[in-house]
Structure 1
Amino acid sequence: MEQQESLGTVLVAGAANLTIALAKLVAGLISGSAAMLSEAAHSTADTVTELLLLVSVRRGSRPADRRHPFGHGKAGFVWAMMAAVATLVGGAGFSITHGVHEISHGEELSNLTPSYIVLAVAFAIESVSLAKALSQLRSQAARYQIHPVRLVRTTSDTALKAVVFEDTAALVGLVVAAAGLLGSQLSGSALWDGAASVAIGLLLLVVAITLIQSNLSLLIGQAAPQRIQTGIRAVLLASPEVEDVVELLTMMIGPGSVLVAAKIDFRDEASAAGLEIACDEVDRRLRERFPGIRQVFLDPTPTLRR
């Protein structure tokens, strides 16, 4: 269900960014504004990002097969990483270099009215896209009973995280671009417009690096969030067959998908047949409590007592 929601969120964001990118490009060419051209590059990079995130959602949702017994969930992290790199290179790189060029050469701006109109319309469209992403974020936060801000920091749903970060950055970038245009118009100096372009690039740089670090951690083998680990341990200890949890290991194997491996000290009176039944029962309880759990491996291990 979360993957279906993420797919809808990505499609809305992609359509919005493509429309906005074309409008910003036209306005930037008319005005000669570096900030507007940077915003066009920003929206173009976001459009490429949404396409890569779309691939991420589709590839990551493929079922497990013989060659990939744990599923294709981590493919979603790979494509989300590529999307973050696209933002870094296409958006941040162009914005910073073009802004520095304008500051150095002081290009004269012309008719800025189309730019202001495009920025206002873009702000409205980006707001709709962000509202869609925030709606999904609040829905998931309510499902997991945590604050939305905490969820967006820890979620393995890389598509949702990318859209929230990039749409937020887009709205901030639009305000910065408008401030740069207004500053240049009032002062007659292109310095403000160039500085706005650099600021937009730095904003995208921060977003891209944050998303790259997040996806890199998931690709390496990030553990499930602490609240889930705590919940898993509580379910295990609450099981009447379990004496103690010797060791608990978890790993995110896809957006919202968790692998659990635990060394369990079962009660001594359990027979071999009883252990099989107990493991099956514990597995069932874990999956009922946490639907995101895809694989459970339990190793009967006695607690070392000194």
Structure 2
Amino acid sequence: MEQRESGESLRTVLVAGAANLTIALAKLVAGLIGGSAAMLSEAAHSAADTVTELLLLVAVRGAERPADRRHPFGHGKAGFFWAMTAAVATLVGGAGFSITHGLHEISHGEELSNLLPSYIVLAVAFGMEAVSFAKAYSQLRSQAERYRVHPVRLVRVTSDTALKAVLFEDAAALVGLIIAAAGLAGSQMTGSALWDGAASIAIGLLLVVVAVTLIRSNLSLLIGQAAPARIENGIRAVLLSQPEVEDVVELLTMMIGPGSILVAAKIDFRDEASAAGVEIACDEVDQRLRERFPGVSQVFLDPTPTRRR
């Protein structure tokens, strides 16, 4: 299951990367022709997204590396690190350039010239970004159906950082294109560069929101985020349903990679259970957890009596 999701995420990243690289070059040319700050900001936005896709590609590949002696739990968290680096690139490259260039446009009032290429590029870019977003959303819906949750809920809790980044960035790109078009139209109708500059700043602020959201999400995963509450409750139910289990003293989970969960639990086994019975019960619980929750990759059970006062 994890390899399947990784392959889907890789294809999603490649589609988004190819679209962003093409769009960035077209926006740059159109921005230089028309002198639009919003178009140049959109070019920086797409360029930052292209760098982001490259880093996400590294993230997906890095997370796929198998466990070894020095990394017994695998390299899944490498995916979280590179995904966070990609979000920082969006914040520094795309947002920083867009805001500063917008402020410069407002203060200096540069005159716009031929905007027809800009409108054409914006329309084509919107179509390409829509295709990329549709690909990412299709993957999200597929995973949501697999886990029987709503897509919006899944995107909030998913540890598939590549998918989450592509979804957020493509959504921001679509909104950014609408803002850029509005800025161009406003400046064209009023003859004032204020609208174009304001659109550039708005695009920058939009990227700040997306980047900070992704940074916080990946930082939480890097620190050692627990599995979603729904999955934890399901794991606890599986443990308690085992006949030899009296109580679950403590249950700890941690996301150790995209879609990969570590489970550690202190279990109070029934007094009448023999040592051999406890071993068999632990093996059965391990198998049942992996069958019900395909993301569970590591299970550690510690026989611990419940503290009685």
TM-score over 0.5 for the alignment? yes
**SS in structure 2 of the partner of residue 258 of structure 1:** strand
Letter aligned with residue 265 of structure 1: D
Say whether residues 1:176 and 2:179 are aligned partners: yes
Question: Matches of 1:39 and 1:225 in 2, distance apart?
Answer: 35
- Flag structure 1 segments of 5+ consecutive residues without an equivalent: none
Deviation at 1:305, TM superposition (A): 2.5
Match of 1:38 among 38, 41, 44: 41
Between the aligned partners of 2:25 and 2:308, the Cα distance in structure 1 is 69
> Which residue number corresponds to residue 302 of structure 1?
305
Q: State the match for 2:229 in structure 1.
A: 226
* SS of alignment partner, residue 4 of structure 1: helix
- 1:59-94 deviations in Å (ceiling 9; x for gaps): 001110011000000000000011000000010000
Give, in angstroms, the shift of residue 261 of structure 1.
0.3
One-letter code aligned to 2:260? S
Structure 1: which 4+ aligned runs deviate by more than 4 Å? none
Aligned partner of 1:90 in structure 2 is 93
Aligned position for 2:149: 146
Amino acid at match of 2:216: Q
Q: Which moved more, 1:147-156 or 1:296-305?
A: 296-305
Partner in structure 2 of residue 281 of structure 1: 284
Of residues 156, 159, 162 in structure 2, which corresponds to 1:159? 162
- Matches for 1:30-69 after TM superposition, within 5 Å: 30-69=33-72
Distance in 2 of aligned mates of 1:226 and 1:266: 24
Mapped to 2, the partners of 1:239 and 1:253 lie a distance apart of: 26
Q: Secondary structure at the match of 1:65?
A: coil
2:265 aligned with 1:267: no
In structure 2, C-alpha distance between the alignment counterparts of 1:268 and 1:8, rounded to whole Å:
52
Task: Tell me the residue number matched to 2:12.
Answer: 9
SS at match of 1:36: helix
| Contiguous gaps of at least 5 residues in structure 2 | none
The CA distance in 2 between the partners of 1:258 and 1:241, in whole Å, is 24
**Which residue in the other structure is 1:109 paired with?**
112
Instruction: Give the alignment's TM-score, normalised by structure 1.
Output: 0.99
- Counterpart residue type for residue 11 of structure 2: G
Deviations 1:179-207 (A, max 9, x none): 00000000000000000000000000000
**What is the TM-score when the length of structure 2 is the normalising length?**
0.98
User: Could you say what secondary structure the match of 1:263 adopts?
Assistant: strand
Q: Of 127, 130, 134, which residue of structure 1 is paired with 2:130?
A: 127
Report how many residues are paired.
306
Shift of 1:277: 1.1
CA RMSD of superposed structures (Å): 0.5
Q: Secondary structure at the residue paired with 1:262?
A: strand
Match of residue 22 from structure 1: 25
The residue type equivalent to 2:67 in the other structure is: A
